[in-house]
């Protein structure tokens, strides 16, 4: 039996430090506009997407749903058609030097248990501000789009005190996908509410999803 995965093996791209600018609104990263199995890298740090000053480690890639012409083995993603995943375990980190506060959240689909940690230092260092524990739920109770194995997307979030500067995405490589990563709110994809506290920052990564099926 071939293990279901999110994406084919790929190569990473190095990070480049850049000045970060604080934002007063909730920030949502949906990864749309990044190529199939292309490094997220500095896409949100002056590399083509909105410049939030957010950079991802080399192991962090985007992948597009096979239904939209990509190689992704997933369905029912919360914001079509691109998600984030990683191909190297223990090497999926998001850095946001300016920092963010209040909360952090995202949607995920996973075949294994995993954890995501929020830190007040860069590179997954410093004080641990919050942890999100993920269960293996990716193939459970799916409806609608029938063409991808990773089809169950669960929202998770955490509120915390302090200023976060990095996110460390744990778990098994090529087995966990993320979408609508949200800074400044414990509810993923939340529309900014007037008067909410400013937030900045991001750190996450991880998963691999190929469209390989059982032999």
pLDDT, mean of residues 79-103:
93
* SS3 state of residue 66: helix
Tell me if the domain spanning 27-183 has CATH number 2.60.120.200. Answer: yes
**Residues in a beta bridge with 56:** 94
Q: Is 21 left (phi over 0), alpha (psi -120 to 50) or beta?
A: beta
Instruction: Give the model's pLDDT for residue 71.
Output: 96
- Which sequence spans correspond to the domains of the chain? 27-183
Instruction: Give the model's pLDDT for residue 188.
Output: 97
> Is pLDDT at 16 greater than 50 in this prediction?
no
pLDDT, mean of residues 139-151:
87
Instruction: Give the model's pLDDT for residue 187.
Output: 96
Sign of the Cα torsion 100, 102, 104, 105 reads negative
Instruction: Give the model's pLDDT for residue 81.
Output: 96
Mean pLDDT rounded to a whole number for the chain:
82
Instruction: Give the model's pLDDT for residue 142.
Output: 87
Closest CA to 104 of 131, 84, 126: 131
Give the model confidence (pLDDT) of 150-193 as tens digits.
Answer: 999 999 999 999 999 999 998 789 999 999 999 999 999 965 44
């Amino acid at each position: 039996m071939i293990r279901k995965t999110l994406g084919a093996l790929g190569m990473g791209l190095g990070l480049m430090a850049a000045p970060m600018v604080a934002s007063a609104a909730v920030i949502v990263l949906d990864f749309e506009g990044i190529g199939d199995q292309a490094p997220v890298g500095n896409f949100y740090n002056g590399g083509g997407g909105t410049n939030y000053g957010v950079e991802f480690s080399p192991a962090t890639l985007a992948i597009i749903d096979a239904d939209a012409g990509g190689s992704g083995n997933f369905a029912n993603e919360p914001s079509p058609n691109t998600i984030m995943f990683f191909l190297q375990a223990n090497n999926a980190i998001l850095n946001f030097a300016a920092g963010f506060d209040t909360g952090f959240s995202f949607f995920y689909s996973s075949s294994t248990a995993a954890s995501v940690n929020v830190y007040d230092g860069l590179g997954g260092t410093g004080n641990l501000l919050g942890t999100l524990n993920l269960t293996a739920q990716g193939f459970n109770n799916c409806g609608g789009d029938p063409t991808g194995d990773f089809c169950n997307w669960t929202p998770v979030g955490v509120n915390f005190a302090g200023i976060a500067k990095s996110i460390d995405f744990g778990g098994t490589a090529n087995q966990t996908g993320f979408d609508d990563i949200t800074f400044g709110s414990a509810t993923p994809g939340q529309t900014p509410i007037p008067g909410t506290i400013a937030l900045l920052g991001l750190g996450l990564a991880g998963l691999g999803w190929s469209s390989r099926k059982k032999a």
